[in-house]
Every structure is written in C-alpha cells, then in structure tokens.
C-alpha cells in the first residue's frame, strides 16, 4: 500500500520504519524535517504538509501528542482532509479523548474517508521491537483492511468495537497502569524506609501475585532512581486527564485516578514533566521527608 505517517517521535519513528521494511511505499510529514531524516534515507518520501502527504496515500497513520495536534493535522488548513481521496483511511494511534476521535471520524465520513482509532500500549521498547498492543475502534471491514499494516507494528491487535472504542480501552489501560505505578512506588519506598533492600523486595514481588509489567519496568527504574528513560510524565498527565474527564461525564467514582493525578501534578510542578513516570517515587519520598542515598 501507499502509506503516510505523521508523528515521528520516540515511538512513531520505529513504527513508521516497520511499515517501510514491510515493503510499503512510505510518505512522512514532520514539523521538524530532521525528525524524518533517517526514514528519508531509508527510502521514505518527505512532504511539506499533511495535505500533500495525503494525496498519494491509501492509509495515513498519526501518532502526535494531543487532541489539538491531531485535529490540526487532519482538519486544519493544510490537513489530511484536503488531500485524501474517498475510500482512504486515517488511523489515529495517539491517546486522545474518545469524543474527539469520534467527532473527527464523523467529519471524515462526510468526505467518504474512513477512520480507525488505534492507540497503542507497549512503550518505546514495544514500538522498536514491533510488539505493541493495538486497541482499535471502527468499522470491521476497515479494520480488516488495515490489520496487515497493524501486524507490522504490533503483536496483540484487537478490534474493541465501533468508533471511539479503541480510545476508551486505552483510557482504561492507562488508569490501571498509573494506579499500579503508584502502588509500586509506595511499596518500594516503604521497604526502603524499614531498612529492607527495595531491589530484593521487587524481585520477590515479581515472583508472586503482585507481578506485573509495571513492577518489572517502572519498579526497576524506581529502585535505581533512573528517570531518564521511557515516556515523559507529561504524557501520562494528559492521559489521566482524559480518564478523569470520562469519569466525570459518566458520573462514576475514580478515586485512584484522582489520587495519582495529584502525585503527577506535583511532578509537573517540580519541572519533572519530561522525566519518566518512575519519578513518582520521588513524590512519595518528599511527602515522608526523606530521600534515599544518591544512586
């Protein structure tokens, strides 16, 4: 297929690369051309605007930061909508509000353009290794058409329902991830305060019921106080805002989300928005008035 890709950050550049290596013709757009340089050298074609990119594409993937970015690249003055042909497909893989995703899908449908919302889980490592979990909302026939492309980027590919269902699933994913990360931070800090090696506590928990990818990945970084890898905390802050908005709209309780949002707010206020989520443990340490020895 002729594929377009917008959003060449820490995850997108790997995902686009897998599509290129899968034998598809790849066009790319980025606000900073240098972000696309490695892909251009590998055979991708750079375009000056999303509209120009869209003109020759069957499917265009986006994985940008926020809902406003997505709306701009799709519906803006130079957006995809001005170049896409009827019958083409837009796939939004960033994490945004289900309401925004559905609204954009409705606008595209008026032009005969299909859309899938397909946010991902697995982080930069999953993007690099093509092992992402991809949760998809949209019409089944469109999903089946795009599924071979998803297979270039991920292992677990599931249609969750109609438009917006992928984004709802991702919100639930982020809620579980973030509340678990808070629990891991508190458990490891408690161990350290009581004089027990937090690294050994983590190893024991990995062999029991508390075992999880959150404990494995983020727990290791918490023990090491290594906060320079992974995905920026500011992005989780955005995701948790989506969760709380959905809970508010549905008038349901989400006390865990509200608690973790306060912790993440504290990190943001300390200028740690670009640190890894594992920095949550520093908020717990600050609240107890102690810091572990520098590591």
All domains in the chain, ordered by first residue? 2-162 (3.40.50.720), 168-288 (1.10.1040.10)
C-alpha span between 132 and 151 (Å, rounded): 9
Q: Residue 81: name the closest of 38, 48, 115 by CA.
A: 115
pLDDT at 142: 98
- Give the pair of three-digit tokens for residue 6: 């917008």
C-alpha span between 212 and 176 (Å, rounded): 11
pLDDT at 289: 84
Contact 120, 136 (CB under 8 A): no
pTM value surpassing 0.85 = yes
C-alpha span between 57 and 1 (Å, rounded): 8
C-alpha span between 108 and 205 (Å, rounded): 48
Q: Which residues contact 50 (CB under 8 A, 6 or more apart)?
A: 6, 29, 60, 73, 74, 76, 78, 79, 80, 83
Mark whether 170 is an active-site residue.
yes
pLDDT at 291: 63
Task: State the DSSP string of 44-97.
Answer: -EE-SSHHHHHTT-SEEEE--SSHHHHHHHHHSTT-GGGTPPTT-EEEE-S---
C-alpha span between 292 and 295 (Å, rounded): 8
Q: Residue 64: name the closest of 235, 212, 291 by CA.
A: 235
pLDDT at 45: 96
Residues in the chain predicted with pLDDT less than 50, given as ranges, are 294-295
pLDDT at 294: 41
pLDDT at 55: 94
Catalytic residue from among 155, 170, 200, 295: 170
Contact 284, 187 (CB under 8 A): no
pLDDT at 54: 96
Q: Which residues contact 289 (CB under 8 A, 6 or more apart)?
A: none
């Amino acid at each position: 297929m002729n594929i377009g890709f917008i959003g060449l950050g820490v995850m997108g550049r790997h995902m686009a690369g897998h599509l290129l290596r899968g034998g598809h013709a790849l066009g790319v757009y980025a606000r900073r051309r240098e972000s696309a340089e490695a892909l251009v050298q590998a055979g991708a074609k750079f375009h000056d605007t999303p509209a120009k990119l869209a003109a020759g594409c069957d499917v265009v993937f986006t994985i940008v930061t926020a809902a406003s970015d997505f709306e701009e690249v799709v519906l803006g003055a130079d957006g995809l909508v001005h170049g896409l042909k009827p019958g083409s497909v837009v796939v939004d893989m960033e994490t945004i509000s289900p309401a925004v995703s559905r609204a954009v899908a409705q606008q595209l449908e008026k032009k005969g353009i299909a859309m899938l919302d397909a946010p991902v889980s697995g982080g930069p490592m999953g993007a690099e290794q093509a092992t992402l979990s991809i949760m998809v909302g949209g019409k089944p026939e469109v999903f089946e058409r795009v599924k071979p492309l998803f297979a270039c980027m991920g292992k677990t590919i599931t249609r969750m329902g109609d438009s917006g269902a992928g984004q709802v699933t991702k919100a639930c994913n982020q809620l579980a991830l973030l509340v678990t990360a808070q629990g891991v931070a508190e458990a490891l800090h408690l161990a350290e305060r009581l004089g027990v090696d937090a690294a050994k506590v983590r190893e024991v928990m990995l062999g029991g019921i508390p075992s999880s990818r959150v404990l494995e990945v983020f727990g290791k970084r918490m023990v090491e106080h290594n906060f320079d890898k992974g995905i920026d905390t500011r992005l989780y802050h955005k995701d948790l805002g989506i969760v709380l908005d959905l809970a508010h709209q549905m008038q349901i309780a989400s006390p865990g989300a509200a608690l973790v949002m306060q912790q993440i707010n504290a990190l943001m206020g300390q200028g740690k928005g670009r640190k890894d989520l594992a920095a949550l443990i520093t908020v717990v340490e600050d609240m107890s008035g102690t810091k572990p020895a520098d590591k």
